[in-house]
Homo-oligomer: A and B are copies of this chain.
């Protein structure tokens, strides 16, 4: 009867679940996601109440719960959308080229472009990951790790091809991610630089460093 029914399905992994959705309902769902992402970005996850999300969409709070089982499911959906976007872009790139350097260049471009396109979503992705309940965190991490693994593999391939110097591929890939992901902290759409300019510059640094040509060959161990 009034049994709480803790977790009938131990499968929140891939499918978003809840809300099979009928046409226009899908739009509402997207609206809620967008409103939530914006608010999470502006106020942070906790200061954003579900009522505020509803208000921004122009519906009642209960409607939000018609589309999402819980507040953190919204968070998860935003997260998922972002990483799926990156994975899709990666696939498109590797279908077009095998060159590791080009792949890495595309990765930098994709990340900064996505930061430009959906600024709100990015902060969610990076800062509110741990607000997810453990199971959701786990299944989110799977995709995340997949993407990181793909990029690291591309870098490793570059080393085998002789276009990237031998070094720890893990550190190298995290250096790339660091530079690009960090852009969400300072890059602002409509600012002085376009996202293409930013990713080009970051990629150039990643590939060739900031050192002047004059001291190239001197290496890092000064």
* Chain A contacts to B: CB under 8 angstroms: 43-44, 46, 101-102, 105, 126-127, 130-131, 155, 158-159, 162-165, 167-168, 170-172, 174-175, 177-183, 185-186, 193, 198, 200-217, 219-222
Residue numbers in B under 8 Å from A220 (CB-CB): 200, 203-204, 207-208
**Identical subunits present:** 2
Q: Are B179 and A210 in contact (CB under 8 A)?
A: no
Partner of A179 from the list B175, B200, B217 (CB cut-off 8 Å) is B175
CB A150 to nearest CB in B, in angstroms, measures 16
Residue with the highest number of chain B CB atoms closer than 10 Å, among A105, A178, A198:
A178
CB A63 to nearest CB in B, in angstroms, measures 25
8 contacts between A and B (CB under 8 A): A43-B130, A162-B212, A162-B214, A167-B204, A174-B179, A181-B182, A213-B217, A216-B216
Partner of A172 from the list B172, B183, B210, B216 (CB cut-off 8 Å) is B210
CB A28 to nearest CB in B, in angstroms, measures 28
Q: Are A105 and B209 in contact (CB under 8 A)?
A: no
What is the CA–CA distance of A132 and B44 in the complex, to the nearest angstrom? 10
Residue numbers in B under 8 Å from A207 (CB-CB): 209-211, 220
Partner of A171 from the list B159, B168, B202 (CB cut-off 8 Å) is B202
10 additional contacts, CB 8 Å, given A155-B210, A162-B212, A174-B182?
A: A46-B46, A46-B131, A105-B222, A171-B193, A175-B201, A175-B202, A178-B178, A178-B182, A178-B183, A208-B208
